Amino acid sequence: MIWLNPGSFLTILNLTLCGLANGLEVTNTAKPVTSIDQSNSTVTTCIPRQRKEWRSIGPLERADYLKAVQCLQQHPSKSGLHGARTRFDDFQGFHISVTTQVHEVGQFLPWHRWFLHVYELALRKECNYNGHIPYWDWTKDADPANPEAFHSSSIFDATGGFGNLPLVRSPLSSGAFAKYRLIFGTGPPPNVTDHFIERGFDIEMLPRLTEGAVNSTMNKKTFETFRIELEGRPITPESKIHDSGHRAVGGDMGDTYSSPGDPLFYLHHANLDRLWWKWQRIDPSTRLYQISGRSTQIPPYRKVTLNTTLPTGTFGQSIQIHHVMDIGNKLLCYTYV
């Protein structure tokens, strides 16, 4: 089946294979998917990898993912960032260094989509990981009437998960990452420190992580209103699903700058990326390449476009926003199930 947007150069072949048709979730992506980049009409074909919810993958797959992250935490730094000791530090340190360039701006979602992609590539190429980045659907855990459901979620399991969620901010006492020491502290750079990963449960965030909160976000009609509703404070008066997911876990994860120091960061942002992709699929002819917003936090403001260049540091070649708008393209080549 072929769908054509006559107002642009965007053509997507076999939309049902990528899950674009009718906004349905995909359960079989074994066949190639072909797409055309709207900005330059480049044809690409790939067989998408499946990113799955943490609880839907088997115990061996979960163990493999945790081991791959531990592998990054053991490999020496390559970034040249001051203080970074390991490859895991490289990702946290780079996020800290570009925080003000990729938050509260139109490139917030595209940049984090790219960031997860290069993190996944590092797991694969440097740690021989054959899986994918899982996502954490916190709506399955967030029940404001029963906070214990979130606190005791299997994602915080001491053996097969990411370690415990303390009720007050304190170092992890269990899990695969309890002994890992972060070199970067919370807040803007430079903030070189040496501490165990910390968390601290914030019950007040649970109402903003429910199905109702997600539906409120998904009901937005334009990318501009969608991205603002998703990202939340400080561009909205109240917390939304992005910042609430960070703050509910708290500690290092709760800090805008240093949050990638908690391995849960990547599962949280994979879920946000999944929701953006789901929003794009609702009306692909309008939304797949829809982008807007300011490109800087401070004046002079410029509008983000598909040709806006994303900061990539030492993590790869220069990337423009249009390269990451379609997760089914040859560069990204993944989907969510």
DSSP 245-259: HHHHH-TTTTSTTTG
In sequence order, the β-bridge partners of residue 319 are: 310
**pTM of model > 0.85:** yes
Report d(CA 249, CA 252) in Å as an integer: 9
Average the pLDDT over 58-73 and give the result: 97
Helix (H) or strand (E) holding 278: helix 264-282
For 244-254, write each residue's pLDDT tens digit. 999 999 999 99
pLDDT at residue 108 is higher than 80: yes
Q: What percent of the chain is modeled with pLDDT above 70? A: 87
Write down the pLDDT at residue 3: 35
Statement: residue 320 has pLDDT above 60: yes
**Of 149, 115, 150, 49, the residue nearest 259 (C-alpha):** 115
